[in-house]
């Protein structure tokens, strides 16, 4: 079937943008918006255990770190950041870590980690930061409701995400920085919850982060959705014992991003093989007809599919024609 003319034009335009970005990346790395100041978080040793009393003490200490960052943002005159932090510091919130510096990092638990037998770790893509953290949290809340009791969802904003439309979102630099932090977090989570079924859920640019961290990572599944590619030729190249899943909604604009890698001076632009293509070798899950931001939307087909993968009922997450393959 011939390509739709609009899609062909879009592909050509995006390919031109990739080339232009490759020129911009080496000279723009030092530029960026001024960071809102924040104090360093209090220095603490490792979390002793996932027992309720240890977690409660830890959450309270991290809440104090968020409160300190809120006060600093207010003194700086950034009301938007202060308001976002005030919400995050609420008494019902449960953060394993928080650092307001350099754009902000945070790791929040939705659900009871002490009793969780199934844990989903959400890795966000471009454009998610402290000021827009609510987008990541909304997805975590919807997934936790779908999973039900005995589960916990961890929203892992553990890296400096690129701006959605930027040279950084077209290269693996931020993912390379993030991967050791993600691997370290998963090791710590496995220490605390060694028998829990743990799944990485990697949205958009977050799939590049997960791919960089995947080698030898002790998780049960890695789910790539809305992915521009991973920077690897196929699932086997991730060198992970986990089952790799991929899905894309039929109205997700990421399908029109050229799945190429341009190796140019100073930088490689693009992320190569489409994870939902047969050549990549991932298991495909039913991702419905939604757009790029709809995968964890309440009541959606991809939300149900992803929840089944997290719960270990993977067969029912496949598209109908593949469930008995």
pLDDT along the chain (325 residues), means of 10: 46 47 38 70 95 98 98 96 96 97 94 98 95 96 98 97 87 95 98 98 98 97 98 97 97 93 84 97 97 98 98 84 63
CA distances from 278 to 244, 267, 319 (A): 13, 28, 14
Q: What is the DSSP letter of 140?
A: H
pLDDT in tens, 174-212: 999 999 999 999 999 999 999 999 999 999 999 999 999
pLDDT in tens, 245-258: 999 999 999 999 89
Per the rule left: phi > 0, alpha: psi between -120 and 50, beta: everything else, 103 is: left
Tokens of 148: 């039900």
Write down the pLDDT at residue 12.
47
Contacts of 110 (CB under 8 A, 6+ apart): 94, 137, 140, 141, 143, 144, 152, 153, 154, 155
């Amino acid at each position: 079937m011939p390509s739709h003319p609009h899609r062909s034009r879009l592909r050509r335009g995006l390919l031109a943008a990739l080339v232009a970005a490759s020129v911009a990346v080496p000279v723009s790395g030092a530029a960026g918006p001024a960071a809102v100041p924040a104090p360093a978080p209090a220095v603490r040793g490792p979390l002793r255990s996932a027992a309720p009393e240890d977690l409660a003490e830890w959450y309270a200490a991290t809440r104090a770190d968020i409160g300190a960052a809120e006060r600093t943002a207010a003194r700086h005159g950034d009301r938007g950041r202060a308001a976002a932090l005030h919400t995050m510091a609420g008494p019902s919130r449960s953060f394993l870590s928080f650092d307001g510096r350099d754009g902000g990092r945070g790791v929040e638990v939705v659900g009871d980690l002490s009793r969780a037998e199934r844990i989903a770790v959400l890795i966000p893509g471009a454009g998610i930061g402290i000021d827009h953290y609510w987008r990541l949290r909304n997805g975590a809340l919807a997934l936790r409701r779908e999973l039900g009791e005995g589960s916990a969802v961890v929203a892992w904003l553990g890296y400096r995400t690129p701006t959605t439309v930027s040279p950084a979102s077209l290269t693996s630099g931020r993912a390379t920085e993030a991967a050791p932090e993600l691997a370290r977090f998963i090791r710590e989570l496995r220490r605390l919850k060694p028998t829990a079924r743990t799944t990485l859920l990697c949205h958009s640019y977050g799939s590049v982060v997960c791919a960089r961290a995947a080698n030898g990572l002790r998780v049960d599944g890695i789910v790539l959705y809305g992915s521009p590619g991973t920077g690897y030729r196929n699932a086997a190249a991730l060198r992970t014992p986990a089952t790799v899943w991929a899905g894309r909604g039929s109205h997700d604009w990421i399908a029109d991003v050229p799945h190429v890698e341009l190796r140019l001076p100073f930088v490689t632009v693009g992320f190569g093989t489409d994870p939902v293509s047969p050549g990549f070798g991932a298991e495909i899950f039913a991702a419905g007809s939604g757009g790029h931001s709809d995968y964890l939307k309440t009541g959606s087909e991809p939300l149900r599919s992803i929840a089944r993968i997290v719960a270990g009922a993977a067969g029912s997450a496949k598209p109908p024609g593949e469930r008995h393959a």
